[in-house]
Structure formats: C-alpha cells, structure tokens
Amino acid sequence: LWPLYVSQDTAYDSHVRRLFATLQTTRDRYREDPETWEALVDAHYHWDNPDARTRMSDLQMLQGLQRAISLDSSFTPAYVHTVEFEATLHGTDSALHYARAYLKLDPRDEQAPGIALVAKLLEAKQINSPDLKRQLDTVPLHALETAWQMLRRLPDSRETALHLARLLAGPRLPETASQTDSIVARQQLAAQLSWRGHGHQAAAVAGGGSRLFSDLARLGFIPRDSAARVFAGWLEGAPGRLKYALPWWATEGDTASLRTAGDRLNAHLSDKRATIGSVRTANYAIAAAIAYQALARRDTAAALASFLALPDSLCADCFHDRLVRSRLQASRGQLREAFEALGERLPVLLTSTEIVFALERGRVAQRLGNTEEATKAYTLVAQAWLNADPELLPMVEEARKGAGLPSEKRVAAGKRANP
C-alpha cells in the first residue's frame, strides 16, 4: 500500500514523522501501558522508512513488544509481530515459544488461526508428513497467508516458508482468484525463492516486469542479452519501474542508457498526467541516475557525493542504491557510517538484496573488529542460502568462513554473481 498512500498524500513524509513522534511521546508518557509500546512498534512495522533518524530495527521492535508482554502477558496483540520477529532473529525455538504462549490465551485475533498453523509447522518433525499435509490442504487460506508472512524470513534448513509460498501460488490458489491475486501470489513465490537463493526458479516465476527482475539480473540469473532487452523496454515505462534498471546499466558501464533514462524522467515531470507519487519517484530517480552515471565512469568520489545526497525517504525500496552507497563508504574507510546504513530494515515483501546486505554488513563488521555482528550477519547468509544455486556459492563460502562454519563441498558456477 505504500505507493498508494504516497501518490495520494502530498505531505506523506511529514505525516509519518508526526505519527512516529506522537506515538513515541505517548509511549514515553505512559510507559506502564502495554498498548503504547505495541502501537509504536506496529506503526514502525508498517510505515518505517530508511531515515536513520526515525527508523527502528527488527531487534528494537521485538524488544518493544517484549516489554509490552512483560507489562501484561495477556495482551494478545503484542504477540502477533513477536512471533515473526523471533522467527527472523532467533529461529524456530524462540518463535515456537511465543506462539505457544499466545495460543494458551485462547486468542480471538484474526491472526490466531495463522499462529496456530505456525506452531504446528514448527513442531512438526517432517514438513511433508501426511497429517501436516492434510492440515495445509484444509486450513483457511488467510491462516496459510499469515503463517507464510510470519515465517518468510526464517532461515530454516527445510525452507518452511517456501513450502507455504508454493501452496499459495499453486494448489491453494482459489479457482475464483482474480488476475491480480494470482500475480501477487506468484510474485510472493518468486520473492521467497530469491530470498532462499533459488535464483533460476525465481526468474522463471517472476517474469520481466518487477524490481525482483533487476535483483536477479545483478545476481547473474538473467542472461545479459535478455536483461538488456527488458531494461531497454523499461525506458518507455513509468518512473517507478525505470529506477530499478539504473544499477544494472551502471554495472555494464552503459552511460548512454543512463543519460536516456534521465531525459525520460525529466520529461515525466512536465507530463500533465503525472501523479504526485510518480513525480516524487521521478525526482528521486533523476538524482539516482546522476549518481549511477558517475559510478559508470568510475568516478567514485562524485558517485558517493551523489548517493549521499539522495532523499532516501522518496524511495523506501531503492535498497541497491543504499547498498552501493555503503560499499563506497567502506571503500573510503567510512566503516561506521557504512555499518549503520547496512543495518537498515528493508520494509518490503522480501528481497534477495537483504542477504547481500547481510554479507556486506558482515564484511564491514569484520573490518571494524566487531566479531559478534560479523558472525551474526555471515550466519544469516550461510543459513538463508544453504541450498542456493551455484552462482551464489562464492558468497556462501565467504559467509561460512566468516562465521567459522565448515566449507560446503559443492561446485560453484563459472560466472560469479555481481550483486
């Protein structure tokens, strides 16, 4: 819904900042009220942006919810996102602990059936057991969707969330589903495949019309000629999609396409049909195109200055721009700034860029001598991409070594991914 609200609200950023400030003040004034803690976290969960001055990390949000539960262990709303954050940050056992505690309260929240399914999935010894299969075939669809959302960032070896995403896009997709619902289900599946490192399958499911296509192209899962053809077509499209092609053109040294993109984006500003949201996006993308032109010319000083000037709040999902900025900062010895930026919570459905962020964060933490954070970041990469496609194995091996894990004896593909 983020693009919809942006397109309709001329003061979106100030409204979100005011919401956060109001809830923060309320929480500070009524610190013994669990609802104030849960309300603040819920707002950040749904409306957070890359602005380091206002954003909350997953850990900070989890701690806020744990505080709410400690104040009133019967306050069921505080458990909902807690189960998800525990799965993401601390794994199966922690998520199961909170799911069970929640279910003991006999909750009536709309998420209750989904959390009950989460508990069954995490308790099951085998994901494909006949009993669990029967439950997955008959449980209400909204419960299946809730369970997937809560487990989508659980880096478990049996890839539970991917199993759910396949069901939602296939056997459990209603025959009456609209075309939009079908597309959303397939994009969710593609995103989950990407997050788990199954790039070739993700590319086959995603098609060539989304941000995910750009992510996969940078990771080496789209043939160069195919990527060039698709991105050339994006030059004729809306700014919202065109901005995702900029990093690929920079990697290819294609300054001509970057200049053309800038021209098309500038032309959009004078288009009477342009919406408030598309104008905001175009203004951001124009500045990003300038930064990527400098990068394509290998002028890293100018590129870093341009990336630092980008208004991040205008494009919450332009993660790769901030990844590039962090790499440039790290290359110039600005390690603490890079480390802070790489701690950003990526507030979208899912993206393989999250795992690339984690790898880069591990590298920077290692250079800073922060062994704990480096190990944590490297471990996420190794777990999330445990069964990844061969193109990603060099990064997986680096992560396993950084986390002190034994090497995987698999053969890497000839071409290394260039995220």
pLDDT at residue 180 greater than cutoff 90: no
Please report the pLDDT score of residue 1 as a whole number.
Answer: 41
pLDDT at residue 9 greater than cutoff 70: no
pLDDT at residue 38 greater than cutoff 50: yes
pLDDT at residue 339 greater than cutoff 70: yes
pLDDT tens per residue across span 18-30: 999 999 999 999 9
Please report the pLDDT score of residue 411 as a whole number.
Answer: 52
Predicted TM-score (pTM) of this structure: 0.92
Q: Mean pLDDT over residues 233-262, rounded?
A: 94
Please report the pLDDT score of residue 242 as a whole number.
Answer: 94
Please report the pLDDT score of residue 418 as a whole number.
Answer: 62
Please state, as a whole number, how many other Cβ atoms lie within 10 Å of the Cβ of residue 221: 24
pLDDT at residue 260 greater than cutoff 90: yes
Distance between CA 56 and CA 334 in Å, rounded?
22
Q: How confident is the model at residue 414 (pLDDT cuts 50, 70, 90)?
A: very low
Please report the pLDDT score of residue 346 as a whole number.
Answer: 79
pLDDT at residue 4 greater than cutoff 50: no
Q: Which two tokens stand for residue 135?
A: 């439950």
Residue among 81, 104, 82, 106 at smallest CA distance from 94: 82
- CATH number of the structural domain 319-407: 1.25.40
Q: What percent of the chain has pLDDT over 90?
A: 75
Mention every residue, 6+ apart, whose C-beta is less than 8 A from residue 253: 296
Q: How is the chain split into domains, by residue range?
A: 197-315, 319-407
Q: How confident is the model at residue 52 (pLDDT cuts 50, 70, 90)?
A: low
pLDDT at residue 413 greater than cutoff 70: no
Please report the pLDDT score of residue 176 as a whole number.
Answer: 75
Distance between CA 405 and CA 377 in Å, rounded?
13
Q: Mean pLDDT over residues 51-64, rounded?
A: 86
Distance between CA 47 and CA 40 in Å, rounded?
11
| Contact (Cβ atoms closer than 8 angstroms) between residue 118 and residue 139 | no
Distance between CA 17 and CA 313 in Å, rounded?
11
Q: How confident is the model at residue 173 (pLDDT cuts 50, 70, 90)?
A: confident
pLDDT tens per residue across span 276-333: 888 989 999 999 999 999 999 999 999 999 999 998 878 888 999 999 999 999 999 9
Question: How many helices and strands (H and E) does the chain possess?
Answer: 24, 0
pLDDT tens per residue across span 370-381: 999 999 999 999
62-66, 236-240, 415-419: which has the minimum mean pLDDT? 415-419
Distance between CA 280 and CA 278 in Å, rounded?
5
Q: How confident is the model at residue 172 (pLDDT cuts 50, 70, 90)?
A: confident
Distance between CA 393 and CA 165 in Å, rounded?
24
pLDDT at residue 5 greater than cutoff 80: no
Q: Mean pLDDT over residues 174-198, rounded?
A: 90
As a residue count, the chain comes to: 419
Q: How confident is the model at residue 90 (pLDDT cuts 50, 70, 90)?
A: very high
415 phi and psi, to 5 degrees? -100, 125
pLDDT at residue 216 greater than cutoff 70: yes
Please report the pLDDT score of residue 60 as a whole number.
Answer: 95
Please report the pLDDT score of residue 390 as a whole number.
Answer: 96
